[in-house]
Structure 1
Amino acid sequence: MAFFASAAPALPPAQPDAYKVIVLDSGEADLSLIDEKSYQVVGTESTGKEPHHLMITPDQKSLIVANSVSNSLMFVDPASAAVQRVLQGIDDPYQLGFSPDHRWFVTAALRLDRVDIYRFDGHDFSVARRIPLAKTPSHMTFSSDGRTVYVTLQDSGELAAIDLATQSVVWKIPVGRDPAGLWMTPGDRGLLVGMTGEDDVVVVDPHTHQVVKRIHTGRGAHNFRNLDDGRHVAVTNRVANTISILDYTTLQNVGEIDNLMPGPDDMELSADRRFLWVTFRFSRHVGVIDLPARKLVTTIAVGRSPHGIYFQNRAPVYPPNPD
């Protein structure tokens, strides 16, 4: 299958000390560019229809914005949000991810009930296989060795594991109502699944393919962000309008952040690990949370249905990736 790329003129590069936050306004077909220090929206950029998620390329030179309804990937400068190129012909890329070894690029085509696996050579994509996976494949994460991608199936209430080398489903288990976000604990000891149709996080043993625990959080447990402290991960509860802090070494809920705006969804962490930014899908705002105080300290008005979020000044991954 052929993909078609178009170039776009570059905007002036951002100043090195002017750290920016990029937020996808999925209901507006654009992105908002926010100055991290002043909390001000300093620009917008048009995208395709319904940009939901985004991811940095392995070389860190481009940020991929996945336009699900426009069937395209838009590559932007991660510092300035200037469009670099647009890749057409990528069907319904609702969610996206690179395998840890960077050999594979995977998209979850939510409305098409399909997961697409692409070979990646560092710049170009070629289809390896399209895998039917009913119903509504949503979020994904990978095993640390890059061999397996795990995908939640929201409407069938299942978790599927796909072998990337053979591009085949190797197992699938029921986990509950409306599974969404996924996060793998260090060492691949446990796979956390946010249950948006319930009020808990399910823990799956990826080796035995069994649910081993349920951690009570709040209604609509949805998505995760590692807090990069070697112990905790945050999960948004999109119906309860709270964020739960989980200790992933003990698999316990150790605290709540409440008094949030409706629809907390995706999160990102400041480089000093003090502030957790969160998009409020139902409120047209982004919030900034003081983590030590566990308190929402400010909100920033953006476009309709803000979803994915990216920091130019990203927090480091914990534990550090090996060289």
Structure 2
Amino acid sequence: MSLLLAAVAGPSLAGTGLVFVSHERSDNIVVLNRADEVVGQFKTCARPRGMRRTPDGKSLIVACGNDDTIAVYDMATRTLVKRFRDIPDPETFDLHPNGRDLYISNEDDSEATVLDLETGEVKAHYATGPEPEGVLATPDGKRVFVASEAANLVHVIDVESGKIVKDILTATRPRRFALSPDGRELWVSCELSGIVDIIDTASLQSKGQIAFLPKGMRREQVTPVDLVMSRDGKTAYVALGRANHVAVVDVASRSVKDYILVGRRPWGLRFSADEKTLYVANGLSDDVSIIETATQKVRKTVPVGMVPYAVVIDD
């Protein structure tokens, strides 16, 4: 049965600037407009976590962990158009540049799978360490990286051969990725070490680390999760989890320039298309902090659903 988006009018969402936030506990997606107002919501399958928009802007892909489902919504009509069932506990994913192959972390099965969005076939299985989460496909489509939280590993999938060609040891509990614009560095948040590990993508070796400690925080409170990097490669932002801050990092010097106080347990980040705004999903305060990157200040905090996880913007 179709699930309809409530209270958002209009025939198309393309370029609207609407912000979509998934929620693990209220099983819905809340929608904000450009004025930072909640303008609608729609129910999803159980425990929606990872989300992304397809490159053509027509569809929203959602991973629903407790329903073992990948759901696809039409963004113009706000209806559910496809369900791919029997995808065990999907958490996050990335879409290969071919626009067809979805690389998914299957948290409870200790594997990553590849779902063909056209046929619905699960066409590959890759064994990982326990609790895989972050997934990143490189822009050239040659590699896919998968983070295993419990094994402290980043698995490197060679797409052409269909094999894992390297397991890279990281600091404790790797969660998410950011790739530098030149493709030379892979940044990995390591939650329980309170750091970001930096991997050289040519050698597939660790080449450095960045540690975080906002004023007044204990080291064990610093639990980085999501991270994003500006298109010019100069600035990165890291959500610090239990420390309730977002770190602002100068990429060239690998130094922390600032800490921005946000809500409780920030773990999802997303830039607007112009990078003037950074949206922060705060998992334990059930809200979204909206940061103006020019001032590095929170302009507004908006209550949303229960346990917000991921943010997607229709820019």
SS state at 1:282 partner = helix
Which residue of the partner structure matches residue 93 of structure 1?
Answer: 48
The answer to whether 1:3 aligns with 2:15 is: no
Report which stretch shifted further, 255-264 or 189-198: 255-264
Residue correspondences, number: 265
Deviations 1:22-73 (A, max 9, x none): xxxxxxxxxxxxxxxxxxxxxxxxxxxxxxxxxxx76352121112222221
Deviations 1:70-115 (A, max 9, x none): 22212212x4422232223454211112233445432111233x12
1:308 shift after superposition: 1.0
Which residue of the partner structure matches residue 127 of structure 1?
Answer: 81
Structure 1: distance between partners of 2:267 and 2:256: 18
Report which stretch shifted further, 182-191 or 121-130: 121-130
1:153 shift after superposition: 1.0
8 Å Cα contact 1:284/1:304 also seen in 2: yes
- Among 111, 127, 143, which residue is 1:190 paired with? 143
Structure 2: distance between partners of 1:200 and 1:89: 32
The answer to whether 1:269 aligns with 2:259 is: no
Structure 1: distance between partners of 2:23 and 2:162: 32
Summarize the alignment of residues 46-57 of structure 1 with structure 2, pairs less than 5 Å apart. Answer: none
Which residue of the partner structure matches residue 65 of structure 2?
Answer: 110
1:248 shift after superposition: 2.2
CA RMSD of aligned residues (A): 2.4
SS state at 1:7 partner = coil
Which residue of the partner structure matches residue 91 of structure 2?
Answer: 138
Q: Cα gap change, 1:89/1:141 in structure 2, threshold over 3 Å: closer, same or farther?
A: closer
1:160 shift after superposition: 0.6
Structure 1: distance between partners of 2:37 and 2:45: 21
SS state at 1:180 partner = strand
> Once the two structures are aligned, what percentage of the paired residues are identical?
24
Structure 2: distance between partners of 1:161 and 1:251: 23
Summarize the alignment of residues 22-37 of structure 1 with structure 2, pairs less than 5 Å apart. Answer: none
Q: Which amino acid aligns with 1:238?
A: E
Structure 2: distance between partners of 1:158 and 1:252: 22
5+ residue gaps, structure 2, are 214-218, 277-315
TM-score by length of 1: 0.74
1:263 shift after superposition: 0.9
8 Å Cα contact 2:153/2:170 also seen in 1: yes
The answer to whether 1:314 aligns with 2:275 is: yes
Structure 2: distance between partners of 1:89 and 1:244: 34
SS state at 2:39 partner = strand
Deviations 1:254-295 (A, max 9, x none): 221124452101112346532211111122222112222212
5+ residue gaps, structure 1, are 10-56, 316-323
